[in-house]
Amino acid sequence: MTRFRVLYDMEYLDMDCNGLPFDPLTWVDDSVGTYATNFAIALAGILTAVLLAVVRKRKEADTLLMVGIFASAAVGFFVAGVGHIVFRTNDAPYFKAVYSLSYAFNGLSGLLTLQYGLKLIDCFGSTDEGAMYKYKRGVYIVLSLAAVVPIILSVVWSSLLVVIAMNTIAAFLLIFAYLRRATTKPNTKNNRWYYVLKAAGVVTIVASGIVQLFLQSKCGSEAAYKDCFRECPFKNPAVFNHNGLFHIIYLVGMILLAWGEVQAPSLLLGEDILTTGKRQTDDTFANEGNIEEMKL
């Protein structure tokens, strides 16, 4: 009977990769570094969602989408963390169901990120009167509905790659929106810095996935067995590996984004023309930087 090796066949590695061939790849990572950092992201996401809910009342900020972004990401990473603890093989009962649930919540976070980015750039228009407003609203609805498709596919196929692709597109849109506002929207110097900080947070989140993908072939795939993981930079990848590093970098990006949004919300109540059909006055925009910051 084949002994499932989880992510690493430790018996094979302990023999310096000599002897019988290693067991088939399962992609199940039960290392403490992976599930512990999963839960760290979940905790940070929930705390940020609560803070943003408070900010909504204290600063009259439109933070509902951001609350959803952080809360859904928190649930997605929490469910994944539970999966890393519970499952030992990828053919275990409920394996696909649990991870599909994780993918769905992370996909929901990506969908809300897309919607937030679209609102920040006013959906590709420069005016909110008449036909142009209807055009913007139409773009927002169509792209939002289109983003639901990858979420459904990720659940049906139990595939994280579909969600990663959509979330990356949404992240780049949000980065563009933040930098655009930092350079074009009436701002105080302090608020302009916060927009750059938020963009840096999203860039860091994207970078975390790139790092994970780069190290996967060296620390967590069948290819790494060819040289007995000698190219893997981690001393003991069975305890802390590329997945744990991915989570830590992601957490740093999440904290930067959260800090920026809590201290200087990007949308004020009534500013979202896709909901209200009208834009606040330039005076209201200019006064955004004068809103007293919360003392946290």
If you write DSSP's letter for every residue of 167-189 in order, what string do you get? HHHHHHHHHHHHHHHHHHS---H
Residues 164-219: tens digit of each pLDDT: 999 999 999 999 999 998 888 666 667 889 999 999 999 999 999 999 999 988 88
Predicted pLDDT of residue 294: 39
Predicted pLDDT of residue 130: 54
Predicted pLDDT of residue 185: 67
- Kindly give the parts of the chain with pLDDT less than 50: 1-3, 124-127, 275-296
- The domain ranges of the chain are 28-290
Residues 261-280: tens digit of each pLDDT: 999 898 876 665 554 444 44
H-type alpha helices, 121-229: 130-157, 160-184, 189-219
Predicted pLDDT of residue 290: 42
Predicted pLDDT of residue 184: 82
243 burial level (CB within 10 Å; 0-12, 13-18, 19+): buried
Is domain 28-290 in CATH 1.20.1070, yes or no?
yes
CB distance 34 to 17 below 8 Å: no
Predicted pLDDT of residue 69: 97
C-alpha to C-alpha distance for 168 and 161, rounded to whole angstroms: 10
Give the global pTM: 0.85
Tokens of 21: 């061939």
Predicted pLDDT of residue 19: 67
DSSP 268: B
Predicted pLDDT of residue 188: 66
Predicted pLDDT of residue 236: 87
CB distance 249 to 195 below 8 Å: no
